[in-house]
Structure 1
Amino acid sequence: MGKTILIVDDSSIMRKMIKETLKSAGHDVIGEAKNGSDAVALYKQMKPDLVTMDITMRGMDGFEAARQILRDDRNACIIFLSNLDEAQYSREAEAIGAKGYLNKHRSKEILTLIEQL
């Protein structure tokens, strides 16, 4: 059975690509946010099984949104998808408590990562 998922990315094109990938594998995308503050609010309202989170967004970035979500729900499952490929970003994602970190250009690998969770 698929998971309920919240997609967080400031790019509508990227949100659409991620959504299509997830839906094709039987997952239910229950919400989309274009910034961190919307992500925090939607997470509280929807309680999805999983959040895909971009890092660089206007206003509240993905790292701060993840910190707030995890502060409210330590069991939240967050996977970062970002164009930032430097190791420091994946280390920070891990330190925050994210379940994974993928480069957006390898976003189809998210399905494998979700299966492992």
Structure 2
Amino acid sequence: MQQELKVLICDDSALIRKKFRKILEVCQCKYIEEADNGEMAVEKVNEFKPDLVFMDIVMPKKDGIEALEEIKKEYPTIKVVMASSAGTQSHLKRALEHGAYDFIQKPITLEAVAVLIEKIMTEKKEGSAHV
């Protein structure tokens, strides 16, 4: 079921994107795209139409909160999960106010990502059961 989930990883760190990709592959996600800044994330969302976006908050060109706002305005059903390091609590509060689905603490772990994906897949199943 997870393989149907289209995921976009947006982080300015290639190392973090690589780690996210490995974790998503373990979770059997087959459709994975990457962006290295908020501006590129918005472009990728327009092309790829992901179900789920993992978005770093602090990035060049356009930060994660600005990108989140643009994505949610255009695609309110896309789930955007903010990835943050310690010390960004005020950013997280703003992100949640702007429609972030959830947040994940860095360094990211397989368990945290797997729990989030499971939650989203359950919601997706329940949502399609009501149609």
TM-score class, shorter: over 0.9
**Residue 79 of structure 2 is aligned to residue 77 of structure 1:** yes
The aligned counterpart of 2:53 is 51
Task: Give the Cα separation in 1 of the matches to 2:82 and 2:56.
Answer: 6
SS of residue in 2 equivalent to 1:17:
helix
Give CA deviations for 1:59-113 in whole Å, capped at 9, x if unaligned: 1001000100111011111001121444322211210111111111244302102
SS of residue in 2 equivalent to 1:27:
coil
Residue identity over aligned pairs, in percent, reads: 32
Matches within 5 A, 1:94-113: 94-108=96-110, 109-113=112-116
Task: Give the Cα separation in 2 of the matches to 1:97 and 1:67.
Answer: 8
* Distance 1:102-1:92 versus aligned 2 partners, 3 A rule: same
Retained in 2: the 8 A contact 1:19–1:29?
Answer: no
> What is the root-mean-square deviation of aligned Cα atoms in Å?
1.3
- 5+ unaligned residues in a row in structure 1: which ranges? none
- 5+ unaligned residues in a row in structure 2: which ranges? 121-131
Task: Give the Cα separation in 2 of the matches to 1:31 and 1:106.
Answer: 18
Task: Give the Cα separation in 2 of the matches to 1:22 and 1:114.
Answer: 9
Name the larger-Rg structure: 2
**Match of 2:40, as an amino acid?**
D
Of 65, 89, 92, the match for 1:90: 92
Matches within 5 A, 1:14-33: 14-33=16-35
Aligned residues: 117
Shift of 1:28: 2.3
Task: Give the Cα separation in 2 of the matches to 1:84 and 1:15.
Answer: 18
Retained in 2: the 8 A contact 1:81–1:107?
Answer: no
The aligned counterpart of 1:61 is 63
Q: Which runs of 4+ in 1 moved over 2 A?
A: 84-87
